[in-house]
Structure 1
Amino acid sequence: MNDLTARVAPLLVLILALASFGVGLAELPVQDRDEARFAQSARQMAATGDLIDMRVQEAPRHNKPALIYWAQTAAIWITGVSGETPIWVHRLPSYLAGALSALALIWAGTPVVGRRAAVIAGVICATVYMMHAEARTAKTDAALVLSVILTMGALGRAWLDMARPWLTPLTFWTGLAAGFLLKGPMVVLPVVGAMVWIALQYRNLTWLTRLRPLPGLALFMALVAPWFIAISIVTDGAFWSASLGGDLSDKITAGGEHAASPPGLYLITIWLTFFPWSLLIPMALSFAWATRKDPKTALLLGWLIPGWIVFEAVPVKLIHYTLPLYPALMLLCGAALVRLTKAEMPFSRWGAAVGTVGWTLALVFFSVVAVAAPVAYGPAEPIHIPSVVGATAFVLAGLTGVTLLWRGAVAKAVAAMALCGVAMGWTLTAVSLPAARDFWIADRLVEASARYSCVEGPIALAGYAEPSAVFRLGTDTILTDAEGALAYLAEAPNRAAWISPALIPGAENAFSNVPQITGISIGNFRPVTLRLYVSPGVSAETLPCGP
């Protein structure tokens, strides 16, 4: 890689990431449950100016620290959008964090695997499925990946004796603090994993002094402690019982909303979550084994393996949990490809065959989802042409990439795989999934309710309490049971409530059921039916603002 290419490559990777992650940012409706909760809480934070205590309506939101809420609140203030903010505004922090992650990975990986391999890793980061999914979701995970990359990049420079006296420690402790303010101790897992791995392999931890532990810890506490102290005072300690005794404990013991899954789930699903680059996993593992005694590889293995074991051991498994470990795998993939082009690593047909089989199964899965979702869960039509066109594009690009890789044309294979990732992201998030309208009940509630402009006051909901409904219908939405909804309608004229008919059999005799909505709740994947009931004395025929 010549000097000009070395300078331009990071900019091109950044542009690729911005383009890749930008698709679906506005098209995909708000998702239940976590994204809707984060977004609604940030909306209320922006409205009230309370930057300490996060809430969804009146319910405390104390399972995560505050940094992502601050970032979304800043996005609201900077864009100047007020009131019922659209979801794309809340997704901007994740979008920018995802794009910067691809750029930061080049910086973090260059001392470890070389510039060319680090650039390939940046391309992988910009187009891999799991990063694409999180970079256009208003949650913590894309920002957490950025903080982990910065932290591990500094840790790697310290380990390889390439640290700058103050800049490297500053990057390490600031990245660690940002990660802690995003998702608590999750950021510590890859850091400690790498330290333990290196200590066991080399019996040496003296290199950690290059990170200036004492002033670094002081900086870390100065950045992290103020909010934790403030939230402890405001909530009288309830934050700790909710975040540690509730959220974290539930995930360790399989309590709360999530069920337990067996160990090995992440090893199976990585063919999907790392697509389209899952083709390279056997090659990356082969490279890691061949160079396992190299200090640079030791850093990447410590980043990847200990944390992976912990996540597999924890009963509750969500596919995005292992995402902060993916950058290490991306760098291993990049290094393996570079060695392959230099003929420093033999092309393993067995490894390529295993990778191709797993990759092909993932390709079939995504193409079926892209084509079938709008038909099965959308308007009654036999085929959704835009989804078919998009699926055809990413299938052809992917097959081209596989063919080129088998022929040894690595650079062209990388370009084809990147195109496959971008095309698949566009197809799923901007075309297919938005067209599967059965999943987007909250949007349909808003559309149906808007037809009755004379309805006064907030809308009540009974039988459907997903946070997306609050985000779309408004903070003042009333979540109640059937009895409460009927009482609300009886209190004044021109009120409306969406009620599950199963909760009030026979109530249609007293209240006019205007439209009916049926769909699938993506919060629990259960069927939902809701009818719009209006105040007594108002019928569908006489409602002045009816259709």
Structure 2
Amino acid sequence: MAIQTAGPEISYRIPDRMDRITASRARSAIVLVVLALLAFLPGFFQIPPIDRDEARYAQATRQMMETGNYLDIRFQETPRYLQPVGIYWLQAAAAKITGFDARAPIWVHRLPSLLGAIAAVGLTYWAMLAIVGSTGAFIAALFMASSVLLGMEARLAKTDAVLLATTIGAMGVLARAYLGQALSSATAMMFWVALAAGMLVKGPLILLVVGSTTLALLAWDRSLAWFKALRPKLGIWLFLALILPWFVAIAIVSGGEFFITAIGHSMLGKVAAGQQGHGFPPGYYLLLFWLTFAPAALFTIVAAPWVWKNRNEPAVRFCLAWIIPTWIIFELIVTKLPHYVLPTYPAIAGLIALAMLNGRQLGPLLAWTLVAGAVLLVAAIAAALYVVAGTVSIAAIAVSLAAVAILAWGVQRRQSISPATFAATIAIGAIMVQGAALGLVAPKMDNLWLSPRLAAAVARNAPCGTPQVVSADYHQPSLVFMVGTNTILGFPPDAAKFLASGGCRLALITERSEQAFLAELAKLGRTAELAERVNGMNLGKFGRESVGVYRLRAS
């Protein structure tokens, strides 16, 4: 049975100009890049560093630039041997190119993630051209650009947006090989370069996705003859040539500790135990999917029966092989974080697009549920700003209501407009709501961003231009990034001894530690004065925090 990849044969009752866009790859690419920028830029420059991972990546990169050591990875004096060096090099390159160097603000460290997310949208379009055709590829890329999870990763100085881009690049070549499309030597080598890039960014996770897909197809077809189109005899050597220099160097520099930590503790340790409080049972990703892949997730309900019916079609089979093994593996691993299954989302988007192009459409209940969900989200955004900051944002409300109107328009006319136009209205509406939340609301929630306010308090109360700072019990990495690499993270006795030594020093003491700090200081024959108190949320611990800024009282 043949399946449609260029859209069902239906007659639209109103003119549909989306066909002019999807008919041209250049126009499609331009529109997708513009939408990706509109999706990912709101809040990108304004939101402070997020604890804990983003601040750790950014601080480790800053220390590379401060020391000139671009081989080893450290957070202050502690080795950070969880992932390879790729993302740190990319962040350092961004800091150098922009001229900020080691003084780079957090948004500069986020640039690789922003570019990675935009590339992921573009590569979804490119990869899906081989699988679902030009219109389906455009729809799939729209749903990636508007997904909640990719929008979050685009704004975080972490590995996952870049890893996603490398994974989609590799899978796009793999799909062309599997579907029997001619591959030039350059395209085949792109597969191995993408694998190497993914390895240098986050280790073997890209191999898990690509490898499980390949093995699933082998089990399904009982043949891997198509894999020869990737020129593995040459490609494997290229792959090794790209990754081995750093991996060998770090093995020597760390005395093998990098592999013990990265593989033994970080990777294998996640399989059997929930690390850092992120242990969840199977089903976690399925439960989160309805939020993390919103708004497109709702379309899976109507797409799933069609996908199952057509599971033996090569395009559908490839996407299922891309999704199912990876998803099952991550559901079985005890440690779970939302972004682990992000590399499967392009394939899900592609299957949704195929189902839409073959006449599967949201019914009235699901369609208007989408609009109702948007209304509830807008109300929640407005309420959150009022509760946290005691204010409202008229601009955010206006943008959100306009987004709801666009969604309602698309839902009302979904039977008479093309699938691509309907997908575009859903994506644009979602992008506007997310932009209002992250660009107009989140930056105003000052109480959420404690470390930047502590850094400002240090600057206001410092007895000199470059004070030495100790923090007792508030140990968030964002504080080190905001205040400086030499910030000491300790406990009340450490803080008391540090401050008692005199000089240009300040101590940041949490309210729960103040009594112990002052008592220890008294034992040393010194007293301190409270210069300022800063209250807010400790996002690393998901609780409120009150921190006093103390300086030594003159004797």
TM-score by length of 1: 0.91
Q: Aligned partners of 1:406 and 1:264: how far apart in 2?
A: 34
Task: Report what 1:363 is aligned to.
Answer: 374
Task: Report what 2:452 is aligned to.
Answer: 443
What is the deviation of 1:396?
3.3
Task: Report what 1:286 is aligned to.
Answer: 305
Task: Report what 1:425 is aligned to.
Answer: 434
Task: Report what 2:384 is aligned to.
Answer: 373
What is the deviation of 1:496?
1.0
Q: Aligned partners of 1:122 and 1:348: how far apart in 2?
A: 19
CA contact (8 A) 1:284 1:329 kept: no
Q: 1:49 aligns with which of 50, 56, 68?
A: 68
Q: 1:28 aligns with which of 47, 51, 66?
A: 47
Deviates more, 1:74-83 or 1:187-196: 187-196
* Matched residue type, 2:254: T
What is the deviation of 1:472?
0.7
What is the deviation of 1:24?
1.4
Q: Does 1:535 align with 2:544?
A: no
Task: Report what 2:287 is aligned to.
Answer: 268
Deviates more, 1:81-90 or 1:297-306: 81-90
Unpaired runs of 5+ in structure 1? Answer: 539-547
Q: Does 1:462 align with 2:472?
A: yes
Task: Report what 1:206 is aligned to.
Answer: 225
Q: Aligned partners of 1:215 and 1:287: how far apart in 2?
A: 39
Q: Aligned partners of 1:307 and 1:364: how far apart in 2?
A: 34
Deviations 1:302-352 (A, max 9, x none): 001111111111112111111011000111122222222xxxx5x464xx6
Q: 2:539 aligns with which of 519, 522, 543?
A: 522
| Aligned ranges 1:121-136 → 2 under 5 Å | 121-136=140-155
| Aligned ranges 1:131-142 → 2 under 5 Å | 131-142=150-161
Deviations 1:265-303 (A, max 9, x none): 211211111112223112332331132111111110000
Task: Report what 1:170 is aligned to.
Answer: 189
Task: Report what 2:99 is aligned to.
Answer: 80
Percent identity, aligned pairs only, is 34
| Aligned ranges 1:71-110 → 2 under 5 Å | 71-110=90-129
What is the deviation of 1:467?
0.3
Q: 1:399 aligns with which of 395, 408, 411?
A: 408
Q: Aligned partners of 2:420 and 2:225: how far apart in 1?
A: 40
| Aligned ranges 1:299-338 → 2 under 5 Å | 299-338=318-357
Aligned to 2:508, the other structure's residue is in SS state strand
What is the deviation of 1:457?
2.5
Q: Aligned partners of 1:397 and 1:459: how far apart in 2?
A: 51
Task: Report what 2:131 is aligned to.
Answer: 112
**Shift in alpha-carbon separation, 1:152–1:91, aligned structure 2, 3 A:** same
Q: Aligned partners of 1:125 and 1:95: how far apart in 2?
A: 14
* Matched residue type, 1:69: Y
CA contact (8 A) 1:281 1:355 kept: no
Task: Report what 2:499 is aligned to.
Answer: 489
Deviates more, 1:47-56 or 1:364-373: 364-373
CA contact (8 A) 1:376 1:436 kept: no
* Matched residue type, 1:513: L
Task: Report what 2:296 is aligned to.
Answer: 277
* Matched residue type, 1:432: V
Q: Aligned partners of 1:94 and 1:110: how far apart in 2?
A: 24
Task: Report what 2:509 is aligned to.
Answer: 499
Deviates more, 1:361-370 or 1:65-74: 361-370
What is the deviation of 1:387?
3.7
Task: Report what 2:176 is aligned to.
Answer: 157
**Shift in alpha-carbon separation, 1:61–1:355, aligned structure 2, 3 A:** farther
Task: Report what 1:179 is aligned to.
Answer: 198
Between the two proteins, the alignment pairs up a number of residues equal to: 528
Task: Report what 2:16 is aligned to.
Answer: none
* Matched residue type, 2:381: A
Q: Does 1:512 align with 2:538?
A: no
CA contact (8 A) 2:371 2:407 kept: no
**Shift in alpha-carbon separation, 1:281–1:485, aligned structure 2, 3 A:** same
Q: 1:237 aligns with which of 256, 265, 269?
A: 256
Task: Report what 1:542 is aligned to.
Answer: none
CA contact (8 A) 1:100 1:146 kept: yes
RMSD over aligned Cα atoms:
2.1
Task: Report what 1:545 is aligned to.
Answer: none
CA contact (8 A) 2:36 2:118 kept: yes
* Matched residue type, 2:355: A
Deviations 1:187-227 (A, max 9, x none): 12221222122222221111111111121111111011111
Q: Aligned partners of 2:362 and 2:74: how far apart in 1?
A: 53
Deviates more, 1:234-243 or 1:328-337: 328-337
Q: Aligned partners of 2:367 and 2:473: how far apart in 1?
A: 46
**Shift in alpha-carbon separation, 1:21–1:97, aligned structure 2, 3 A:** same
* Matched residue type, 1:161: G
Q: Aligned partners of 1:122 and 1:51: how far apart in 2?
A: 35
TM-score by length of 2: 0.90
What is the deviation of 1:503?
1.5
